[in-house]
Amino acid sequence: MPQTINALVVDDSTLSRLLIKILLPAYYHIVETPNGKEALALYRESRPDIMFLDLMLPGMNGEDVLASIRKFDPNPNVIVVSSNIQRPVKERLAKMGTLAFIEKPVNQPEAALAIQKVLELVEARQHPLSMSATQQETLAEVLNIGMGRAAKMLSELINDEIELQIPEVGLFPVKEIKDKLENLLIGPITSIHQVFSGPFSGDGLMIVCLQKVLDKSGIKIREGFRFQIFLSGRLRNL
């Protein structure tokens, strides 16, 4: 059975709280409150894994609750559930780091889909993947060999030396890869995707970032060249 996930549901509507609870998995431990100030106190006391937050609340509005929480927990997992669907409100809350905005009245199929995507991300963050030291060393060596062979071919192609770095090995949930790539990739890119099997099986994705590509008649790599390899898949027999 999955490990218990703690959820805080904050809404002054009994019906809305009920709808959210219906959409959550059975193994979630749910605490609820209709009051903004009480929500802040409950969050500070229990530090829930995820919070569902209405905006128009008695005692303290939801936006102020979130701002107060971020003073002692900079990265809370928050899904907003509100009838205040103005664009400036949504944009402001997105900048505050909310994971999703569910409009009222709650459309169960749409809300269920949005909540499921967020819950998968939250649970992955709560229980991150891990590797043993032996697995890390083995995979790093495999990447070293692969990068060396790729660098040899690129070097012969462009008639210049490719600078290699020690690979940083890590495991990331699939849903986080997109965000990581967006932060790493700058400017024009070239990518190669390869499905592979054997002791290491899965998908290999090599992404070459070229900040400056000049001369239409040939390939020249100037300053600013970055070389990144992302490898995803199952690890066996390490």
pLDDT tens, position by position, 76-86: 999 999 999 99
Q: What percent of the chain has pLDDT over 70?
A: 69
Determine the topology of domain 5-126 in CATH: Rossmann fold (3.40.50)
Contacts of 162 (CB under 8 A, 6+ apart): 151, 154, 155, 225, 227
Q: Per-residue b/e over 23-56, b at no fewer than 16 CB within 10 Å?
A: bbeeebeebbbbbbebbbebbeeeebbbbbbbbe
- At 195, the pLDDT band (50, 70, 90 cuts) reads confident
* pLDDT at 232 > cutoff 50: no
Residues 67 and 25: beta-carbon distance below 8 Å: no
Q: Which of 20-24, 32-36, 40-44, 115-119 has the lowest mean pLDDT?
A: 115-119
| Per-residue model confidence as pLDDT tens digits over 128-187 | 566 777 877 888 888 888 888 888 887 888 788 888 888 777 776 655 666 666 666 666
Mean pLDDT of the chain: 78
| Per-residue model confidence as pLDDT tens digits over 203-223 | 777 666 655 443 433 444 444
* 25 upstream amide cis, omega within 30 of 0: no
Q: How far apart are CA 81 and CA 103, in angstroms?
A: 6
Instruction: For the chain, give every domain's residue range.
Output: 5-126, 133-235
> Following DSSP, what letter does each residue of 63-105 receive, concatenated?
HHHHHHHHHH-SS--EEEEES---HHHHHHHHHTT-SEEEESS
- At 5, the pLDDT band (50, 70, 90 cuts) reads confident
